[in-house]
Chain A
Amino acid sequence: GNSVTQMEGPVTLSEEAFLTINCTYTATGYPSLFWYVQYPGEGLQLLLKATKADDKGSNKGFEATYRKETTSFHLEKGSVQVSDSAVYFCALSSIGNQFYFGTGTSLTVIP
């Protein structure tokens, strides 16, 4: 079946630190992969996506590369800011209009 596994949180970093949030997936066929971000009290917002192997999605300084050989889509940012504090969700969409989310990773950035 299809599933997404994210690293456990919460993650606490100092401002300007490097961020990696691991995400691996199991899927049939060739899924599209996404990262969503949820700020406190809000809905999820699409952060970036990649639709085929070796694609790199990027937005707001965040990047993730679709690695088919390792079935991974790790989220990275070179220098986090306090405003990046949020919950980050990895997700995949597969054939059949199904969308699968990871459990989310909470990030807190301290000044």
Chain B
Amino acid sequence: NAGVTQTPKFQVLKTGQSMTLQCAQDMNHEYMSWYRQDPGMGLRLIHYSVGAGITDQGEVPNGYNVSRSTTEDFPLRLLSAAPSQTSVYFCASSRERPNYGYTFGSGTRLTVV
């Protein structure tokens, strides 16, 4: 099925470890974003990309890196995991601009101990 695929679904990390959350979409969407979802805080934008080779910071970018080498893939890297990064992470994509509405992945639940 067409859509946004995130891997892994669950992950436990130790403080200080690094890892990459994978996101891939097969809809040829130009616009991709990463959000984190925390109780009582809704979704907060981490990083976004308007096309291959172009990325920009969102509301809460510290501690995360992204790259966009292809239209399909938009990985999120945690450089040195901290307990404050325990959250559910969602990748989303949209045709051109978010005014068209996002398609979300099913999320990655990350716990940092």
Q: Which residues of A contact B (CB under 8 A)?
A: 4, 32, 34, 36, 41-46, 49, 51, 89, 93, 97-99, 101-104
Contact = CB atoms under 8 A, between A and B. Distances in A.
Contacts of B31: 97
Interface of B: 4, 31, 33, 35, 40-45, 48, 50, 58, 90, 92, 97-99, 101-107
A4 B31 CA distance: 22
B42 A46 contact: no
A97 B48 contact: yes
Given A98-B45, A101-B42, A104-B42, A43 B97 contact: no
Given A44-B104, A93-B98, A99 B42 contact: no
A93 B99 contact: yes
Contacts of B45: 98-99
Nearest to B3: A43
A41 B90 CA distance: 12
Contacts of B42: 4, 89, 101-104
**Interface majority SS (helix, strand, loop, mixed), chain A:** strand
A54 B108 CA distance: 37
B97 A45 contact: no
Nearest to A6: B42
Interface centre among A43, A44, A51 (most CB of B within 10 A): A43
B101 A46 contact: yes
B110 to A, nearest CB: 15
B101 A43 contact: no
Given A43-B92, A89-B43, A98-B45, 4 more contacts: A46-B101, A51-B99, A97-B31, A97-B48
B40 to A, nearest CB: 6
Nearest to B33: A99
A93 B97 contact: yes
21 contacts: A4-B42, A36-B102, A43-B92, A43-B105, A43-B106, A44-B104, A89-B42, A89-B43, A93-B98, A93-B99, A97-B31, A97-B48, A97-B50, A99-B45, A99-B102, A101-B35, A101-B42, A101-B43, A103-B40, A103-B41, A103-B42
